[in-house]
Chains A and B, each alone.
Chain A
Amino acid sequence: GQQVMQIPQYQHVQEGEDFTTYCNSSTTLSNIQWYKQRPGGHPVFLIQLVKSGEVKKQKRLTFQFGEAKKNSSLHITATQTTDVGTYFCAGLPGTSYDKVIFGPGTSLSVIP
């Protein structure tokens, strides 16, 4: 079946270091979404990428969608303790219009 994978599963960084999580799909996607879930909280939508090769920025966060629309990445520059949480990517397969497939998430810890 269709799968969305994420690496790494866990990442521990010193505050101020950069962080990147990668998302890969077994099939071509119509779009990719990114979510953040703080410990004990619920997932919160961050952004959606639609176009091949698209790059979007939100302050220290940079999101990329691959040229083949099968992979994506989230890069955080100069991490802060407020960045702690689990980051999920979610891909919308080309065969669906309403049901995304969530990746397993990358858990980020920031050491002050």
Chain B
Amino acid sequence: NAGVTQTPKFQVLKTGQSMTLQCAQDMNHNSMYWYRQDPGMGLRLIYYSASEGTTDKGEVPNGYNVSRLNKREFSLRLESAAPSQTSVYFCASSEAKTGGTYGYTFGSGTRLTVV
């Protein structure tokens, strides 16, 4: 029972390069999320997906795109990386439904450095 799996764990990019962060969950959760965490900034929501086939912007979506490939997988793409995107990225999932959500399960994170 792996929970939420993120790849890669570490990545160094040059400014302007692109990459996709992968996330998969095996808990049959409906909702999936992408957060970034910067020192002193807490967790900021980039994009989320309430169900397969739907995605919505969060607090800091600029410079990112997402794809909810199927119920299990939710990927985050940086089309042209910038140093300001240096951060730790967390994927999370939850069993959310009308009437309330349940605790989020987080992946172990991707530590991204853009030089």
Chain A residues packing against B (C-beta within 8 Å): 30-31, 33, 35, 41-45, 47-48, 50, 88, 90, 92, 97-100, 102-105
Contact = CB atoms under 8 A, between A and B. Distances in A.
Contacts, number: 60
Contacts of B108: 41-42
Contacts of A102: 35, 42-43
Given A42-B107, A43-B106, A99-B45, 4 more contacts: A30-B100, A33-B104, A97-B96, A99-B58
B90 A104 contact: no
B interface, size bucket? 20 to 34
B62 interface: no
Contacts of A90: 104
A50 B100 contact: yes
B19 to A, nearest CB: 20
Q: 4 closest A-B pairs (Cβ-Cβ)? A: A45-B103, A98-B96, A104-B42, A42-B106
Contacts of A42: 90, 106-109
15 contacts: A31-B100, A31-B101, A42-B106, A42-B109, A43-B106, A45-B103, A47-B103, A48-B103, A92-B100, A98-B48, A98-B96, A98-B97, A99-B101, A100-B101, A105-B42
